[in-house]
Amino acid sequence: MLAASLLVVVMDMTILNVALPEISAALSPTAAQQLWIVDIYALVLAGLLVTMSTLGDRWGRKRMLLTGFAIFGAASLAILVVESPPMVIAVRALLGVGGAMIMPATLSMIRSLFTDPAERAKALGIWAAVASLGAAVGPIVGGLLLEHFSWHAAFLINVPLMAAALVAGVLLLPEARNPRPGRWDALATGLSITGMVALVWGIKRIAKEGPADLMALSTLLAALALLTWFVMRCRNSDSPLLRVRLFAIPSFTAGTLAALFTTLAMGSALLLAAQWLQLVQGLSPLQAGVRLLPLAIAAAVVSPLAPYLAQRIGARAVLVGGLALSSAGFTILALAPEPLGYGPVAVFLALLGAGMGSLAIASAIIMSGTPAEHAGSAAAIEETAYELGAVLGVAVLGSAAAALYRARLPAADLTAAGLDPTQVTTAQESLGGALHVLSDLGAAGAAAAAQAQAAFTDGLTLVGVIGAAVMLASVVVVFTLTPKDLDLTKGH
Protein backbone atom coordinates (compact mmCIF):
# COMPACT_ATOMS: atom_id res chain seq x y z
CA MET A 1 0.00 0.00 0.00
CA LEU A 2 2.75 2.44 0.98
CA ALA A 3 4.88 1.47 -2.01
CA ALA A 4 1.91 1.76 -4.38
CA SER A 5 1.17 5.31 -3.25
CA LEU A 6 4.82 6.23 -3.74
CA LEU A 7 4.64 4.76 -7.25
CA VAL A 8 1.98 7.30 -8.25
CA VAL A 9 3.92 10.29 -6.88
CA VAL A 10 7.20 9.29 -8.56
CA MET A 11 5.44 8.32 -11.78
CA ASP A 12 3.90 11.78 -11.94
CA MET A 13 7.36 13.35 -11.80
CA THR A 14 8.66 11.43 -14.83
CA ILE A 15 5.46 11.51 -16.88
CA LEU A 16 6.25 15.18 -17.32
CA ASN A 17 9.53 14.34 -19.09
CA VAL A 18 7.50 12.82 -21.93
CA ALA A 19 4.59 15.27 -21.77
CA LEU A 20 6.73 18.43 -21.79
CA PRO A 21 7.09 18.62 -25.60
CA GLU A 22 3.29 18.29 -25.94
CA ILE A 23 2.74 20.98 -23.29
CA SER A 24 5.26 23.21 -25.05
CA ALA A 25 3.51 22.78 -28.39
CA ALA A 26 0.07 23.48 -26.88
CA LEU A 27 0.87 26.38 -24.55
CA SER A 28 4.18 27.79 -25.94
CA PRO A 29 5.91 28.36 -22.58
CA THR A 30 9.19 30.27 -22.52
CA ALA A 31 12.38 28.43 -21.56
CA ALA A 32 12.09 29.87 -18.05
CA GLN A 33 8.48 28.68 -17.77
CA GLN A 34 9.51 25.21 -18.96
CA LEU A 35 12.10 25.05 -16.20
CA TRP A 36 9.53 26.18 -13.63
CA ILE A 37 7.02 23.59 -14.86
CA VAL A 38 9.66 20.93 -14.24
CA ASP A 39 11.19 22.40 -11.08
CA ILE A 40 8.27 23.79 -9.09
CA TYR A 41 7.07 20.35 -8.02
CA ALA A 42 10.41 19.46 -6.46
CA LEU A 43 10.88 23.02 -5.15
CA VAL A 44 7.64 22.91 -3.17
CA LEU A 45 8.44 19.39 -2.00
CA ALA A 46 11.85 20.45 -0.74
CA GLY A 47 10.40 23.46 1.02
CA LEU A 48 7.60 21.59 2.79
CA LEU A 49 9.06 18.14 3.54
CA VAL A 50 10.43 19.09 6.97
CA THR A 51 7.22 20.79 8.02
CA MET A 52 4.90 18.07 6.72
CA SER A 53 6.91 15.16 8.11
CA THR A 54 7.17 16.74 11.55
CA LEU A 55 3.49 17.63 11.46
CA GLY A 56 2.77 14.01 10.56
CA ASP A 57 4.69 12.83 13.63
CA ARG A 58 2.40 14.97 15.77
CA TRP A 59 -0.90 14.95 13.89
CA GLY A 60 -0.68 11.32 12.76
CA ARG A 61 1.21 9.85 9.81
CA LYS A 62 -1.83 8.05 8.44
CA ARG A 63 -3.90 11.24 8.61
CA MET A 64 -1.13 13.18 6.85
CA LEU A 65 -0.86 10.51 4.16
CA LEU A 66 -4.61 10.48 3.46
CA THR A 67 -4.72 14.28 3.31
CA GLY A 68 -1.85 14.17 0.82
CA PHE A 69 -3.78 11.70 -1.34
CA ALA A 70 -6.78 14.03 -1.40
CA ILE A 71 -4.73 17.13 -2.33
CA PHE A 72 -2.75 15.27 -4.98
CA GLY A 73 -5.93 13.94 -6.59
CA ALA A 74 -7.70 17.31 -6.47
CA ALA A 75 -4.71 19.11 -8.02
CA SER A 76 -4.55 16.54 -10.81
CA LEU A 77 -8.24 17.06 -11.55
CA ALA A 78 -7.72 20.84 -11.67
CA ILE A 79 -5.65 20.43 -14.83
CA LEU A 80 -8.95 20.37 -16.76
CA VAL A 81 -9.29 24.16 -16.35
CA VAL A 82 -5.65 24.99 -17.18
CA GLU A 83 -5.19 27.29 -20.17
CA SER A 84 -1.71 28.83 -19.75
CA PRO A 85 1.83 27.96 -18.59
CA PRO A 86 1.42 29.85 -15.27
CA MET A 87 -1.65 27.72 -14.50
CA VAL A 88 0.33 24.53 -15.20
CA ILE A 89 3.00 25.80 -12.80
CA ALA A 90 0.31 26.45 -10.16
CA VAL A 91 -1.09 22.93 -10.52
CA ARG A 92 2.40 21.45 -10.27
CA ALA A 93 2.97 23.48 -7.10
CA LEU A 94 -0.22 22.10 -5.54
CA LEU A 95 0.88 18.61 -6.53
CA GLY A 96 4.10 19.37 -4.65
CA VAL A 97 2.10 20.13 -1.51
CA GLY A 98 0.36 16.75 -1.76
CA GLY A 99 3.64 15.00 -2.53
CA ALA A 100 5.29 16.61 0.50
CA MET A 101 2.61 14.97 2.63
CA ILE A 102 2.82 11.58 0.94
CA MET A 103 6.50 10.83 0.40
CA PRO A 104 7.97 11.15 3.92
CA ALA A 105 4.86 9.52 5.40
CA THR A 106 5.53 6.34 3.41
CA LEU A 107 9.10 6.12 4.73
CA SER A 108 8.29 6.97 8.35
CA MET A 109 5.41 4.48 8.43
CA ILE A 110 7.70 1.73 7.13
CA ARG A 111 10.02 2.56 10.04
CA SER A 112 7.11 2.29 12.47
CA LEU A 113 5.45 -0.81 10.99
CA PHE A 114 8.59 -2.93 10.50
CA THR A 115 10.30 -3.08 13.88
CA ASP A 116 12.68 -5.92 12.92
CA PRO A 117 15.76 -4.39 11.22
CA ALA A 118 16.17 -7.23 8.72
CA GLU A 119 12.51 -7.09 7.68
CA ARG A 120 12.70 -3.30 7.53
CA ALA A 121 15.68 -3.51 5.17
CA LYS A 122 13.68 -5.79 2.86
CA ALA A 123 10.67 -3.45 3.00
CA LEU A 124 12.90 -0.49 2.15
CA GLY A 125 14.34 -2.48 -0.75
CA ILE A 126 10.83 -2.93 -2.11
CA TRP A 127 10.15 0.77 -1.50
CA ALA A 128 13.25 1.74 -3.48
CA ALA A 129 12.39 -0.71 -6.27
CA VAL A 130 8.91 0.77 -6.61
CA ALA A 131 10.36 4.30 -6.66
CA SER A 132 12.72 3.31 -9.46
CA LEU A 133 9.95 1.48 -11.29
CA GLY A 134 7.76 4.58 -11.10
CA ALA A 135 10.55 6.69 -12.56
CA ALA A 136 10.53 4.58 -15.72
CA VAL A 137 6.88 3.52 -15.84
CA GLY A 138 5.92 7.21 -15.87
CA PRO A 139 7.26 7.87 -19.39
CA ILE A 140 5.64 4.68 -20.73
CA VAL A 141 2.26 5.46 -19.18
CA GLY A 142 2.63 9.04 -20.35
CA GLY A 143 3.51 7.87 -23.83
CA LEU A 144 0.47 5.59 -24.01
CA LEU A 145 -1.80 8.38 -22.86
CA LEU A 146 -0.32 10.94 -25.27
CA GLU A 147 -0.76 8.51 -28.18
CA HIS A 148 -4.53 8.67 -27.70
CA PHE A 149 -5.33 11.75 -25.59
CA SER A 150 -4.15 15.30 -24.95
CA TRP A 151 -1.37 16.16 -22.48
CA HIS A 152 -4.02 16.68 -19.79
CA ALA A 153 -4.28 12.91 -19.47
CA ALA A 154 -0.76 12.78 -17.97
CA PHE A 155 -2.24 14.54 -14.94
CA LEU A 156 -5.74 13.03 -14.93
CA ILE A 157 -4.34 9.50 -14.58
CA ASN A 158 -3.57 10.39 -10.97
CA VAL A 159 -7.22 10.99 -10.04
CA PRO A 160 -8.51 7.38 -9.94
CA LEU A 161 -5.21 6.16 -8.50
CA MET A 162 -5.34 8.64 -5.64
CA ALA A 163 -9.01 7.81 -5.00
CA ALA A 164 -8.12 4.10 -4.72
CA ALA A 165 -5.16 4.90 -2.45
CA LEU A 166 -7.40 6.99 -0.21
CA VAL A 167 -9.90 4.15 0.24
CA ALA A 168 -7.17 1.54 0.78
CA GLY A 169 -5.35 3.77 3.26
CA VAL A 170 -8.48 4.24 5.35
CA LEU A 171 -9.08 0.49 5.48
CA LEU A 172 -5.56 -0.92 5.76
CA LEU A 173 -3.17 1.46 7.51
CA PRO A 174 -2.87 1.90 11.28
CA GLU A 175 -2.25 5.32 12.77
CA ALA A 176 1.27 6.13 14.00
CA ARG A 177 2.69 9.22 15.66
CA ASN A 178 5.36 10.39 18.06
CA PRO A 179 3.98 9.82 21.59
CA ARG A 180 6.03 12.77 22.94
CA PRO A 181 5.99 15.39 20.18
CA GLY A 182 6.82 18.46 22.27
CA ARG A 183 5.84 21.97 21.29
CA TRP A 184 5.54 23.22 17.72
CA ASP A 185 8.25 25.68 16.68
CA ALA A 186 6.58 28.19 14.35
CA LEU A 187 9.77 30.20 13.80
CA ALA A 188 11.75 27.11 12.78
CA THR A 189 8.94 26.19 10.38
CA GLY A 190 9.19 29.57 8.67
CA LEU A 191 12.98 29.38 8.56
CA SER A 192 12.96 25.93 6.92
CA ILE A 193 10.42 26.86 4.23
CA THR A 194 11.85 30.27 3.30
CA GLY A 195 15.43 29.04 3.54
CA MET A 196 14.89 26.08 1.21
CA VAL A 197 12.87 28.07 -1.31
CA ALA A 198 15.48 30.85 -1.33
CA LEU A 199 18.31 28.33 -1.71
CA VAL A 200 16.81 26.61 -4.72
CA TRP A 201 15.67 29.84 -6.36
CA GLY A 202 19.13 31.35 -5.89
CA ILE A 203 20.81 28.34 -7.45
CA LYS A 204 18.44 28.44 -10.42
CA ARG A 205 19.07 32.16 -10.86
CA ILE A 206 22.85 31.92 -10.65
CA ALA A 207 22.88 28.98 -13.06
CA LYS A 208 20.99 31.06 -15.61
CA GLU A 209 22.46 34.55 -15.08
CA GLY A 210 25.99 33.62 -14.02
CA PRO A 211 27.99 33.88 -10.77
CA ALA A 212 28.17 37.69 -10.96
CA ASP A 213 24.40 38.17 -10.63
CA LEU A 214 23.90 40.25 -7.47
CA MET A 215 20.30 39.16 -6.90
CA ALA A 216 21.26 35.50 -7.07
CA LEU A 217 24.21 35.98 -4.73
CA SER A 218 22.11 37.97 -2.29
CA THR A 219 19.41 35.32 -2.29
CA LEU A 220 21.94 32.53 -1.71
CA LEU A 221 23.49 34.42 1.19
CA ALA A 222 20.04 34.98 2.69
CA ALA A 223 19.21 31.30 2.23
CA LEU A 224 22.41 30.18 3.94
CA ALA A 225 21.75 32.58 6.82
CA LEU A 226 18.17 31.35 7.25
CA LEU A 227 19.13 27.67 7.07
CA THR A 228 22.05 28.15 9.46
CA TRP A 229 19.67 29.84 11.91
CA PHE A 230 17.26 26.93 11.44
CA VAL A 231 19.95 24.32 12.14
CA MET A 232 21.21 26.14 15.22
CA ARG A 233 17.68 26.54 16.55
CA CYS A 234 17.02 22.82 16.07
CA ARG A 235 20.31 21.90 17.73
CA ASN A 236 19.48 23.97 20.82
CA SER A 237 15.85 22.86 21.15
CA ASP A 238 14.52 20.11 23.41
CA SER A 239 11.81 19.34 20.83
CA PRO A 240 13.34 20.35 17.49
CA LEU A 241 11.38 20.57 14.28
CA LEU A 242 14.11 18.47 12.65
CA ARG A 243 16.53 16.12 14.42
CA VAL A 244 19.67 17.58 12.85
CA ARG A 245 21.77 15.73 15.43
CA LEU A 246 21.15 12.60 13.36
CA PHE A 247 23.97 13.86 11.14
CA ALA A 248 26.35 13.10 13.99
CA ILE A 249 25.99 9.45 12.87
CA PRO A 250 28.50 9.04 9.97
CA SER A 251 26.51 6.27 8.28
CA PHE A 252 23.34 8.41 8.36
CA THR A 253 25.23 11.26 6.69
CA ALA A 254 26.63 8.84 4.10
CA GLY A 255 23.17 7.55 3.17
CA THR A 256 21.82 11.08 2.88
CA LEU A 257 24.70 12.23 0.67
CA ALA A 258 24.31 9.16 -1.55
CA ALA A 259 20.68 10.12 -2.15
CA LEU A 260 21.64 13.75 -2.83
CA PHE A 261 24.48 12.98 -5.24
CA THR A 262 22.51 10.38 -7.20
CA THR A 263 19.43 12.51 -7.79
CA LEU A 264 21.57 15.57 -8.58
CA ALA A 265 23.30 13.75 -11.41
CA MET A 266 20.22 11.82 -12.53
CA GLY A 267 17.55 14.55 -12.65
CA SER A 268 18.72 16.54 -15.63
CA ALA A 269 20.11 13.48 -17.44
CA LEU A 270 16.73 11.75 -17.55
CA LEU A 271 14.90 14.92 -18.58
CA LEU A 272 17.36 15.57 -21.41
CA ALA A 273 17.42 11.91 -22.48
CA ALA A 274 13.62 11.81 -22.78
CA GLN A 275 13.64 14.95 -24.93
CA TRP A 276 16.61 13.70 -26.97
CA LEU A 277 14.75 10.52 -27.86
CA GLN A 278 11.76 12.50 -29.12
CA LEU A 279 13.28 15.64 -30.65
CA VAL A 280 16.55 14.26 -32.00
CA GLN A 281 15.77 10.60 -32.64
CA GLY A 282 12.26 11.45 -33.83
CA LEU A 283 10.44 8.94 -31.63
CA SER A 284 6.89 9.20 -30.37
CA PRO A 285 6.29 9.72 -26.63
CA LEU A 286 5.43 6.02 -26.24
CA GLN A 287 8.51 4.89 -28.16
CA ALA A 288 10.67 7.21 -26.04
CA GLY A 289 9.14 5.83 -22.85
CA VAL A 290 9.85 2.24 -23.89
CA ARG A 291 13.49 3.13 -24.62
CA LEU A 292 13.87 4.42 -21.06
CA LEU A 293 12.99 0.95 -19.74
CA PRO A 294 16.60 -0.21 -19.15
CA LEU A 295 16.68 2.10 -16.13
CA ALA A 296 13.53 0.59 -14.61
CA ILE A 297 14.52 -3.00 -15.30
CA ALA A 298 17.97 -2.61 -13.76
CA ALA A 299 16.61 -0.77 -10.74
CA ALA A 300 13.78 -3.27 -10.21
CA VAL A 301 16.30 -6.13 -10.24
CA VAL A 302 18.94 -4.53 -8.00
CA SER A 303 16.70 -2.86 -5.38
CA PRO A 304 15.24 -6.05 -3.83
CA LEU A 305 18.62 -7.80 -4.09
CA ALA A 306 20.55 -5.00 -2.40
CA PRO A 307 19.64 -5.96 1.23
CA TYR A 308 20.66 -9.60 0.58
CA LEU A 309 23.93 -8.52 -1.03
CA ALA A 310 24.57 -6.22 1.93
CA GLN A 311 24.32 -9.18 4.32
CA ARG A 312 26.98 -11.04 2.33
CA ILE A 313 29.49 -8.43 1.20
CA GLY A 314 28.60 -5.51 3.48
CA ALA A 315 26.35 -2.47 3.21
CA ARG A 316 29.24 -0.16 2.35
CA ALA A 317 30.33 -2.32 -0.59
CA VAL A 318 26.82 -2.41 -2.04
CA LEU A 319 26.16 1.32 -1.64
CA VAL A 320 29.56 2.46 -2.94
CA GLY A 321 29.41 -0.11 -5.73
CA GLY A 322 26.08 1.28 -6.87
CA LEU A 323 27.43 4.80 -6.96
CA ALA A 324 30.42 3.56 -8.96
CA LEU A 325 28.09 1.90 -11.49
CA SER A 326 26.24 5.19 -11.95
CA SER A 327 29.56 6.98 -12.48
CA ALA A 328 30.50 4.39 -15.11
CA GLY A 329 27.17 4.95 -16.86
CA PHE A 330 27.71 8.70 -17.07
CA THR A 331 31.27 8.07 -18.33
CA ILE A 332 29.93 5.90 -21.16
CA LEU A 333 27.51 8.67 -22.11
CA ALA A 334 30.30 11.25 -22.02
CA LEU A 335 32.69 9.18 -24.15
CA ALA A 336 30.15 7.83 -26.65
CA PRO A 337 31.29 8.21 -30.27
CA GLU A 338 29.63 10.76 -32.54
CA PRO A 339 26.94 10.79 -33.72
CA LEU A 340 25.37 9.66 -30.47
CA GLY A 341 23.16 6.60 -30.93
CA TYR A 342 20.72 4.79 -28.68
CA GLY A 343 23.18 2.00 -27.76
CA PRO A 344 25.39 4.04 -25.40
CA VAL A 345 22.29 5.75 -23.99
CA ALA A 346 20.73 2.34 -23.21
CA VAL A 347 23.90 1.20 -21.42
CA PHE A 348 23.98 4.49 -19.51
CA LEU A 349 20.36 4.03 -18.42
CA ALA A 350 20.94 0.43 -17.32
CA LEU A 351 23.99 1.32 -15.22
CA LEU A 352 22.20 4.32 -13.75
CA GLY A 353 19.24 2.11 -12.86
CA ALA A 354 21.52 -0.38 -11.14
CA GLY A 355 23.09 2.46 -9.18
CA MET A 356 19.66 3.75 -8.19
CA GLY A 357 18.77 0.26 -7.03
CA SER A 358 21.59 0.33 -4.52
CA LEU A 359 19.93 3.35 -2.89
CA ALA A 360 17.72 0.81 -1.12
CA ILE A 361 20.76 0.42 1.13
CA ALA A 362 20.96 4.18 1.62
CA SER A 363 17.34 4.19 2.80
CA ALA A 364 18.00 1.24 5.10
CA ILE A 365 21.06 2.95 6.58
CA ILE A 366 19.10 6.15 7.19
CA MET A 367 15.95 4.60 8.63
CA SER A 368 17.43 1.62 10.48
CA GLY A 369 19.64 3.80 12.63
CA THR A 370 16.78 6.09 13.63
CA PRO A 371 14.49 5.57 16.65
CA ALA A 372 10.84 5.08 15.62
CA GLU A 373 9.72 8.29 17.33
CA HIS A 374 12.16 10.27 15.15
CA ALA A 375 11.22 8.50 11.91
CA GLY A 376 9.59 11.67 10.57
CA SER A 377 12.81 13.65 10.85
CA ALA A 378 14.82 10.90 9.18
CA ALA A 379 12.29 10.58 6.38
CA ALA A 380 12.24 14.35 5.90
CA ILE A 381 16.02 14.49 5.65
CA GLU A 382 16.17 11.65 3.13
CA GLU A 383 13.33 12.97 0.98
CA THR A 384 14.76 16.50 1.13
CA ALA A 385 18.05 15.09 -0.15
CA TYR A 386 16.24 13.42 -3.05
CA GLU A 387 14.19 16.45 -3.99
CA LEU A 388 16.94 19.02 -3.47
CA GLY A 389 19.24 16.87 -5.58
CA ALA A 390 16.66 16.73 -8.37
CA VAL A 391 16.17 20.50 -8.32
CA LEU A 392 19.90 21.17 -8.25
CA GLY A 393 20.45 18.72 -11.08
CA VAL A 394 17.90 20.34 -13.38
CA ALA A 395 18.92 23.85 -12.37
CA VAL A 396 22.70 23.46 -12.57
CA LEU A 397 23.31 20.63 -15.05
CA GLY A 398 20.27 21.55 -17.13
CA SER A 399 21.42 25.15 -17.29
CA ALA A 400 24.92 24.06 -18.30
CA ALA A 401 23.45 21.96 -21.12
CA ALA A 402 21.24 24.89 -22.19
CA ALA A 403 24.23 27.26 -22.21
CA LEU A 404 26.18 24.89 -24.45
CA TYR A 405 23.13 24.52 -26.71
CA ARG A 406 22.91 28.28 -27.17
CA ALA A 407 26.65 28.58 -27.78
CA ARG A 408 26.51 25.91 -30.50
CA LEU A 409 23.49 27.58 -32.11
CA PRO A 410 24.57 31.23 -32.66
CA ALA A 411 22.05 33.88 -33.66
CA ALA A 412 23.96 34.61 -36.90
CA ASP A 413 23.39 31.07 -38.16
CA LEU A 414 19.70 31.20 -37.34
CA THR A 415 19.29 34.58 -39.01
CA ALA A 416 21.05 33.23 -42.10
CA ALA A 417 18.52 30.39 -42.17
CA GLY A 418 15.72 32.95 -42.46
CA LEU A 419 14.52 33.56 -38.90
CA ASP A 420 13.52 36.97 -37.59
CA PRO A 421 14.84 38.18 -34.18
CA THR A 422 11.82 36.88 -32.25
CA GLN A 423 12.14 33.46 -33.87
CA VAL A 424 15.87 33.42 -33.17
CA THR A 425 15.12 33.89 -29.47
CA THR A 426 12.56 31.07 -29.60
CA ALA A 427 15.04 28.74 -31.31
CA GLN A 428 17.78 29.48 -28.79
CA GLU A 429 15.45 28.89 -25.83
CA SER A 430 14.68 25.24 -26.59
CA LEU A 431 15.16 22.55 -29.22
CA GLY A 432 11.39 22.10 -29.51
CA GLY A 433 11.04 25.80 -30.29
CA ALA A 434 13.85 25.63 -32.84
CA LEU A 435 12.33 22.70 -34.71
CA HIS A 436 8.97 24.48 -34.78
CA VAL A 437 10.18 27.82 -36.21
CA LEU A 438 12.57 26.15 -38.68
CA SER A 439 10.09 23.62 -40.03
CA ASP A 440 8.88 25.73 -42.99
CA LEU A 441 12.18 27.18 -44.21
CA GLY A 442 13.21 24.53 -46.73
CA ALA A 443 16.80 23.35 -47.07
CA ALA A 444 18.24 26.19 -44.98
CA GLY A 445 15.78 25.45 -42.19
CA ALA A 446 16.57 21.73 -42.32
CA ALA A 447 20.30 22.44 -42.00
CA ALA A 448 19.73 24.77 -39.05
CA ALA A 449 17.44 22.19 -37.43
CA ALA A 450 20.16 19.57 -37.74
CA GLN A 451 22.61 22.03 -36.16
CA ALA A 452 20.16 22.59 -33.29
CA GLN A 453 19.77 18.83 -32.76
CA ALA A 454 23.55 18.40 -32.72
CA ALA A 455 23.85 21.24 -30.19
CA PHE A 456 21.25 19.59 -27.94
CA THR A 457 23.10 16.27 -28.18
CA ASP A 458 26.32 18.02 -27.15
CA GLY A 459 24.47 19.32 -24.08
CA LEU A 460 23.40 15.78 -23.16
CA THR A 461 27.00 14.61 -23.51
CA LEU A 462 28.18 17.47 -21.29
CA VAL A 463 25.78 16.28 -18.59
CA GLY A 464 27.48 12.89 -18.91
CA VAL A 465 30.86 14.49 -18.16
CA ILE A 466 29.57 16.44 -15.15
CA GLY A 467 27.50 13.50 -13.89
CA ALA A 468 30.50 11.18 -14.00
CA ALA A 469 32.54 13.64 -11.91
CA VAL A 470 29.72 14.11 -9.38
CA MET A 471 29.18 10.38 -8.93
CA LEU A 472 32.92 9.73 -8.62
CA ALA A 473 33.08 12.32 -5.85
CA SER A 474 30.16 10.59 -4.12
CA VAL A 475 32.04 7.28 -4.19
CA VAL A 476 34.93 8.81 -2.27
CA VAL A 477 32.76 10.64 0.27
CA VAL A 478 30.36 7.77 0.99
CA PHE A 479 33.18 5.21 1.22
CA THR A 480 34.92 7.41 3.79
CA LEU A 481 31.83 7.97 5.95
CA THR A 482 30.27 4.50 5.93
CA PRO A 483 31.68 2.04 8.51
CA LYS A 484 33.10 -1.08 6.88
CA ASP A 485 31.37 -3.39 9.39
CA LEU A 486 27.93 -1.71 9.24
CA ASP A 487 25.23 -4.36 9.84
CA LEU A 488 21.70 -3.51 8.71
CA THR A 489 20.19 -6.44 10.61
CA LYS A 490 20.87 -4.58 13.82
CA GLY A 491 19.25 -1.29 14.72
CA HIS A 492 17.13 0.64 17.14
CA distance 272 to 394: 9
| Per-residue confidence (pLDDT) for residue 492, from 0 to 100 | 47
Phi then psi dihedrals of residue 356, to 5 deg: -65, -35
Distance of CA 177 to the CA centre of its chain: 27
248 HSE (CA, 13 A, CB side): 5
- What is the pTM assigned to this prediction? 0.78
Contact predicate 68/107, CB 8 Å: no
Contact predicate 65/106, CB 8 Å: yes
Burial tier of 210 (Cβ tally within 10 Å: 0-12, 13-18, 19+): exposed
> Comparing C-alpha atoms, which of 160, 138, 195 is closest to residue 76?
160
> Comparing C-alpha atoms, which of 295, 360, 304 is closest to residue 107?
360
Per-residue pLDDT of the chain (492 residues; tens, 9 = 90+): 666 666 777 676 667 766 777 888 888 888 778 778 877 887 787 788 888 887 887 778 888 889 999 999 999 999 888 888 899 999 999 998 998 888 777 777 776 677 676 777 777 767 766 766 666 677 677 777 777 888 888 888 888 888 888 888 888 777 776 666 667 788 988 998 889 888 877 877 776 676 778 998 999 999 999 999 999 998 888 778 788 888 888 888 888 888 888 888 877 787 788 889 988 998 887 788 788 888 878 887 887 788 788 888 888 888 999 999 999 999 999 999 988 999 999 999 999 988 887 777 887 777 766 666 666 677 778 777 877 787 778 777 877 888 888 888 888 888 888 888 888 888 888 888 888 888 888 888 889 889 999 999 999 999 999 999 989 999 999 999 888 877 666 654
Length of the chain: 492
Contact predicate 378/50, CB 8 Å: no
CA distance 441 to 25: 19
Which of the 8 DSSP states describes residue 397?
I
CA distance 416 to 221: 43
